[in-house]
Homo-oligomer: A and B are copies of this chain.
Amino acid sequence: MDKQTVTIYDVAREANVSMATVSRVVNGNNNVKPATRKKVLDVIDKLDYRPNAVARGLASKKTTTVGVIVPDVTNLYFSALARGIDDVATMYKYNIILTSSDSNGEKEVTVLNTLLSKQVDGIIFMGNNITEELREEFKRTKTPIVLAGSIDDEQIQPSVNIDYAAAVQEEVKSLIDRGNKRVAFVCGPLDQPINSKYRLRGYKQALKEVGIPFDDKLVFETDNSYKTGTLLQPALVSAKATAAMVTDDELAAGIVNGMTDAGVNVPGEFEVITSNDTKLTEMVRPKMSSITQPLYDIGAVAMRLLTKLMNDESIDDKNVILPYGLMKRDSTK
């Protein structure tokens, strides 16, 4: 029995009703007599009819599909967000087209347009360098786009984040209070506002609060990779830093291991605080103290926000700030 495509028309004929009626029962419309509903359902079952979502999408202009743009799925931070997004999407009957951007501005524009051509009902964007070009593209479309765990300088797009500046400020302050005169700030690319305008600002404010002058020799701009972290020990030590505030968990894990491998005791001789509270924080030794972010929730709330936008529901606050916390583990005194 080679499976020919069964269409709504086949079902209609077989059940002696019109296509409209079949459509109604498939879509749960109440305007159908229970008897006919049952009859149609039986035929659907018998014929093994499965509605064609593409045709439906064309007719209704809704695809129940959302696009998700992410720098890298293998990064635990983003995969945690993705998981939250996916679960809420499933809850609301949406599917997800997942695309990797490698934080490459050009590719971001390309995939954005691909997603739009596929008529996704909405988009969740992760990526921390929103270029002017990208911002233009965002503006050009009516499709709602929300940023998850990603900062846009101009708060024009809806977004879900934590208060990165305050969190860093608080952690750096605690490091200083514990006697660290020279706290390094180890971050990802400074062309990303999340690093330069938020986290670094928090760092500076902590210094200012206690009257320590800012020293740019203590700022280490990196690529956020584990490997880079492992190589940072000599530079950190020669800068006379005794602690580091780090903006990424893999990077921080690299630093912790690099220190330990070089015979520097963490936290005894060097304290490390990281930023994302991924499961990696528990897996390295010593376990890493971290700013805690509700990663799953950031994704989940972003997706929930997007569903509202897609349904033209009213939004109380389009730039959501979720609470952060501080988790003391063993990489700090």
Contact = CB atoms under 8 A, between A and B. Distances in A.
B58 A54 contact: yes
Q: Could you say which interface size class chain A belongs to?
A: 35 or more
A36 interface: no
Contacts of A163: none
A86 B50 CA distance: 27
B283 A253 contact: yes
A21 interface: no
A265 interface: no
A141 B2 CA distance: 9
Contacts of A3: 140-142
A292 to B, nearest CB: 17
Contacts of A119: 52-54
A68 B257 CA distance: 35
Contacts of A228: none
Contact of A117 (B52, B142, B253, B279): B52
A280 interface: yes
Contacts of A250: 283
A328 interface: no
Number of copies of chain A assembled together: 2
A257 B279 contact: no
Interface string A130-144: 000000000011100
A72 interface: yes
Contacts of A13: none
Contact of A285 (B51, B95, B115, B260): B260
A97 B95 CA distance: 7
Contacts of A76: 74, 76
A45 interface: no
A284 B282 contact: no
Contacts of A157: none
B118 A95 contact: yes
A80 B74 CA distance: 6
Contacts of A182: none
A96 interface: yes
Contacts of A99: 86, 90, 95-96
Given A50-B116, A79-B79, A284-B285, 11 more contacts: A3-B140, A52-B117, A53-B118, A53-B119, A54-B118, A74-B279, A86-B98, A90-B100, A95-B99, A226-B282, A284-B284
